[in-house]
Amino acid sequence: MVGTQPQPVTIAFDVMGTDHGPAEVVRGAAMLSLESPHIHTLLVGDRDLIDEALAEVKHNGERISVQHASDFVGMDEKPGEALARKPNASVAVAARLVAEGEAQALVSAGNTGAGVLACARHFQLIPGVRRAALATVYPTRSVRGAKEDPFSLILDVGATVEANAEDLVTFAVMGSAYARIISKNDRPKVALLSNGVEPQKGPPRVVEAHARLSEMHDINFIGNVEGIDIPKGTADVIVTDGFVGNVCLKMLEGVHDTVVELAQYAYKESLRWRAGLAMLSSGIQRIKDITDWNQYGGAPILGFDKIFIKAHGRSKSRAIANAGKVAAKVVANNLTTAIREGLKK
């Protein structure tokens, strides 16, 4: 008997258009079918490719179904043009199925713009939300919530390039609700990203948002933070607009890549440095574990009435499975309702 099993939830996976190919997403879904009995997956993409991959991997056929989609949007395609030319692209079909109730959430590791656009076409914005926000998780020095998650949430990182004060407040409410659910963090610390911690620092929209958030007692608003505070983990949720957020995210990723390249250079350059790196290996492994994308699964597009979790394009099967778990958790905890109620206050 099912007994205390959680309610079954179906997650649609856009199988196509990822860096590692459809088989990697199928493997992730297969992993999910073995690990989480209450999560069912709807794999959307080329049926032959999906079946080929599925036949070779351990999975539970009771928890997986397939929807054939004849096209897909590649990583390097322009989202608007691609979706116009390819109405049967996997991400569009998957978003439509979620909108129709065939699945409760969408996970995609494909073209981010196409994902956001497909959601915008098929999903509705939550009342009170003017623009959706693309969130991302970023590894930090400190941990947070009952799950001790070692990452903070940054939003927006690209969906809304020019956000006004009202948008920033909405982002704060949505990010706070998401952190409460995913990190089991009852009072997530929310901050605005600015060029100084003082309330009057930053452009007018940030100053106005600061004033409004200071008056909202349901949000644990800690004021402004600077860029340096992101990796420190000063705040659990960092609110900014899509332009600044995207620049900030790319810079943080660039720093990470540069550090890795420098370590590789050091390893090759000198025996003494190599010995030093060997002595630091456990620490390096710890950093690698923390910054490993595969642990996080994905980050949400917040603001729609349906859930979309965007997994990193480089996601391997473990990350895909984790993205599915994140999506199921968000659905089970009624994120949309939490955001709707947060915006009413």
105-108 β-sheet, strand order: 64-68, 39-45, 9-14, 105-108, 307-311, 298-302, 133-144, 149-155, 237-239, 189-193, 220-225
Tell which one of 58, 217, 268, 272 touches other proteins (CB under 8 A).
58
- Whichever of 47 and 340 has its CB closer to other proteins, that residue is 47
* CA distances from residue 177 to 182, 257, 258 in whole angstroms, order as listed: 9, 31, 34
Mask for 101-140, x = binds other proteins (CB under 8 A): -x--------------------------------------
Tell which one of 8, 21, 196, 276 touches other proteins (CB under 8 A).
8
59 sits near other proteins (criterion: CB under 8 A): yes
**71 vs 116: CA distance, rounded Å:** 17
DSSP string, 200-252: T-S-HHHHHHHHHHHT-TTSEEEEEE-TTHHHHT--SEEE--HHHHHHHHHHH
Tell which one of 15, 24, 49, 55 touches other proteins (CB under 8 A).
55
Tell which one of 4, 61, 146, 271 touches other proteins (CB under 8 A).
61
Tell which one of 20, 49, 68, 263 touches other proteins (CB under 8 A).
68
**136 vs 158: CA distance, rounded Å:** 10
**138 vs 229: CA distance, rounded Å:** 12
224 sits near other proteins (criterion: CB under 8 A): no
Please state the closest distance from residue 98 (CB atom) to other proteins, in A.
14
327 sits near other proteins (criterion: CB under 8 A): no
- Whichever of 54 and 114 has its CB closer to other proteins, that residue is 54
DSSP string, 89-158: BHHHHHHHHHHTTS-SEEEE-S-HHHHHHHHHHHS-BPTT-SS-EEEEEEEEEEEETTTTEEEEEEE-SS
- Helices 90-99 and 112-122: crossing angle in degrees, nearest 10, is 30
Binding segment for other proteins (CB under 8 A), chosen from 58-66, 114-122, 144-152, 287-295, is 58-66
- Whichever of 64 and 193 has its CB closer to other proteins, that residue is 64
Mask for 262-281, x = binds other proteins (CB under 8 A): --------------------
Max Cα-Cα span within the chain = 62
96 sits near other proteins (criterion: CB under 8 A): no
62 sits near other proteins (criterion: CB under 8 A): yes
- Whichever of 65 and 291 has its CB closer to other proteins, that residue is 65
**44 vs 69: CA distance, rounded Å:** 6
Residues 21-50 touching other proteins, rule: CB under 8 A, are 34, 40, 47-48
Please state the closest distance from residue 313 (CB atom) to other proteins, in A.
26
Residues that bind other proteins (CB under 8 A): 1-2, 5, 8, 10, 34, 40, 47-48, 51, 54-68, 102
